[in-house]
Copies of this chain bind each other. A is one copy, B any other.
Amino acid sequence: MNKQSIRLSVDAVVFGYEEDHISIVLIKRKYEPFKGQWAIPGGFALNDESLEAAVERELQEETGIKINYLEQLYTFGNPNRDPRGRVVSVAYFGLVRPDAFKIVAATDAEQVQWFSINDLPELAFDHKHILEKAIKRLQDKITYQPIGFELLDKKFPFSDLEKLYATVLGRAIDRRNFRKKIINLDILDELDEKVSRGSGRPANLFQFNPEHYFKRKKEGIIFEI
C-alpha cells in the first residue's frame, strides 16, 4: 500500500441567537494561508484524541466559548480545499446560550467575533460552503428536534422561543397556534416567575424539561413544528 499523506482537521460552526438575529463565531486568521481573513474556528486533531475532544479543545483555545450543544455536521474532503495540501475536515455544528456572547466580547483582542449570518465577511477555505450546510442543518433540525432551547436562556418567555423560530425559519409564526402546539407537547415547565422587558405585559417564564421530553418521546409524541 502506498503512503497516505492526508491531514485531518476539525472545524466548528457555532451559532448564537440574540436580539432577533442568528450569529456565528468567527476568528481572524493569524497565519498563512488566508492570513487576516475570517474563518470558522478549528484546527488539526491530535493523534490520540477523539474528534469531539479535538473540536472542544480548539474551540476552547481559539474562542474560550462555552459550548452548549455539539454534533457532527459533515466531512469535507475535496482534495483542493486547502492550499497547504490534502486536509480533510470534519465539521461540527454547535449552539451556545446568549451569555456566551459576552464571553467572546471579553476576549475581543484575540480576534474572535460574532457575526450576524446576514452580514458576513468573506471566509477562508471552503468555509462558506460549510456554513451553508450548517445553516440548512439548523433550519431543518429545529423543526423536528428540540434544539432551539439550547440557544435560549434556561428560563425564557414564550415570545423568545417564538421569535427564535421566526428568525431561523425566516417566516412569520402564528403566535397562538405556535404556543398551543408547543404547550401540547408537554415538554416545558411553566415557572412561577415573570419577566418584564420594556413596555407591555410581563411574560411568564418557561423552562425546557429534557427528562419529560424523552419520556414523552418514548410514549410516541413527536416534536414537530
Contact = CB atoms under 8 A, between A and B. Distances in A.
A77 interface: yes
A6 B47 CA distance: 6
A49 B88 CA distance: 11
A73 B51 CA distance: 16
29 contacts: A4-B7, A4-B8, A4-B44, A4-B46, A4-B47, A5-B47, A6-B6, A6-B7, A6-B8, A6-B45, A8-B8, A8-B88, A45-B77, A45-B88, A47-B79, A47-B86, A48-B79, A48-B86, A49-B79, A50-B77, A50-B78, A50-B79, A51-B75, A51-B88, A72-B75, A75-B75, A75-B90, A77-B90, A88-B90
Q: Which 4 A-B pairs have the closest CB atoms?
A: A51-B77, A75-B75, A6-B8, A75-B90
Interface of A: 1-2, 4-8, 44-51, 72, 74-75, 77-79, 86, 88, 90
